[in-house]
Amino acid sequence: MALAAGGLGDGRAARGASRLASFALQVTLTLLGLLAVTFFIGRVVPIDPVLAVVGDQAPRDVYEAVRRELGLDQPLWTQFAIYVGQVLRGDFGTSLVTNRPVTEDIARVFPATLELATLATIIGVALGVPMGIAGAVWQDRWPDQIVRVIGLVGYSVPIFWLGIVGLLVFYGILGWVEGPGRLGVFFEGIVDDVTGVILIDSALAGEWEVFRNALGHVILPSAVLGYFSVAYIARMTRSFMLEQLSQEYVVTARAKGMSEARVVWVHAMRNIAVQLVTVIALSYARLLEGAVLTETVFAWPGLGRYLTTALLAADMNAVLGGTIVVGLVFVGINLLSDLLYKLLDPRAR
């Protein structure tokens, strides 16, 4: 019996090690493929990074010297191999725009995007899930019609237009929120940069005036970004819930006299939890890497704005470094989703 138990344990360990190795290989190939595609596209676009450094009036010898210094005189595959070696050492190179290591730049701007996307996701989940459930429970009635209209507008209205209108109304006319930027000029430098997230750092320091000012700056861009998350999550939640409400176990529960609230929020909700985890995780990942227009409209110093500026300046070190970070974010969120699956659904364990 002990031998059988030991063999079973060894088999589970072997399967676990095999899954871990397979996952590590998939992650490595994914990131390597992402890096290769971005690298070679960056080398063939009609933008010369050397001119971004020396200017278009520089002498030919200066141009050639900088080109050799950047390693652009070598074959593409050699450049790519050198860059991959640098990345494996945690070196993303130096930004041509800021003249600082790309890792330092990303560490500086990524918390701003993280703060914005996290608040937008919280808004999306807090409003989108109840709205989707309401639309499914009252299908084809007025609550469902409202949910459909909100979703349609969320998918149809350009986010930059919504941001500009929001600034005009809530900042310019009503004065309910602060303007563009992440913090008022008067409040900059008061709070030490511990986590990079101003709301957390100001709360830890007990600087509540800074906290209120930061909240006033972030509430409108996070609401604009969160509205699109609401539209997506509400639509998907409604679809998942409609499918569950038509199942036989729901009909049986209602026939036994179980309250509608218990049927929906306990039984049906339990069965769509895993699907909702996927939807919320994908929404969060999309907000982290897709907040470019929102950050541009609100002058938000995040990763999206940083990558846009770098791309326009042919700063490929910054573009590649940001691309790797976005890829790691997607991989990390997918891994977290897999772990949550096992907690929510025993069949996945």
Which conformational region is residue 196 in: left (phi greater than 0), alpha (psi within -120 to 50 degrees), or beta?
left
Boundary-marking domain end, from 63, 88, 113: 88
Indicate the residue among 56, 88, 120 that finishes a domain. Answer: 88
Determine, yes or no, domain membership for 60: yes
244 shares a domain with 202: yes
Instruction: Compute the C-alpha angle 321/327/329, nearest 5°.
Output: 105
- The residues, any chain, with a CB within 8 Å of residue 56's CB and separated by 6 or more, are none
Q: Per the domain annotation, does 95 fall within a domain?
A: no
> Could you tell me if residue 125 is inside a domain?
yes
Q: What residues have CB less than 8 Å from 112, skipping those under 6 apart? A: 182, 196, 300, 301, 302, 303
35 and 140, same structural domain?
Answer: no
**170 and 176 Cβ atoms separated by less than 8 Å:** yes
User: Amino acid identity of 68?
Assistant: R
| pLDDT given for residue 222 in this prediction | 92
Are 243 and 285 part of one and the same domain? yes
Domain C-terminal end among 44, 66, 88: 88
Q: Is residue 96 part of a domain?
A: no
pLDDT tens digits along 276-288: 888 888 888 888 7
Picking from 261, 226, 243, 246, the residue whose alpha carbon sits closest to that of residue 150 is 226
Taking the alpha carbons at both ends of the chain, their separation in whole angstroms is 24
How far, in Å, CA of 215 to CA of 178, rounded? 8
Q: In this predicted model, what pLDDT tens digit does every residue of 31-79 receive, in sequence order?
A: 788 778 877 777 776 667 777 677 777 788 888 887 887 777 788 888 8
In this structure, the answer to whether residues 322 and 194 fall within a common structural domain is yes
SS3 74: coil
Q: How many residues can be counted in the chain?
A: 349
Residue 89 to residues 83, 92, 93, 103, Cα–Cα distance (Å): 10, 9, 11, 12
Run means of pLDDT, 10 residues per run, the chain, 349 residues? 55 72 78 80 71 74 80 81 83 84 90 90 93 90 89 84 90 88 85 86 89 92 91 91 86 82 83 86 80 84 86 81 83 78 64
Domain limits for position 45: 2-88
Domain total for the chain?
Answer: 2
Same domain for 245 and 128: yes
Residues 42 and 77 in one domain: yes
- Is there a single domain that holds both residue 263 and residue 328? yes
| Cβ contacts of 155 within 8 Å, gap of 6 or more | 228, 231, 232
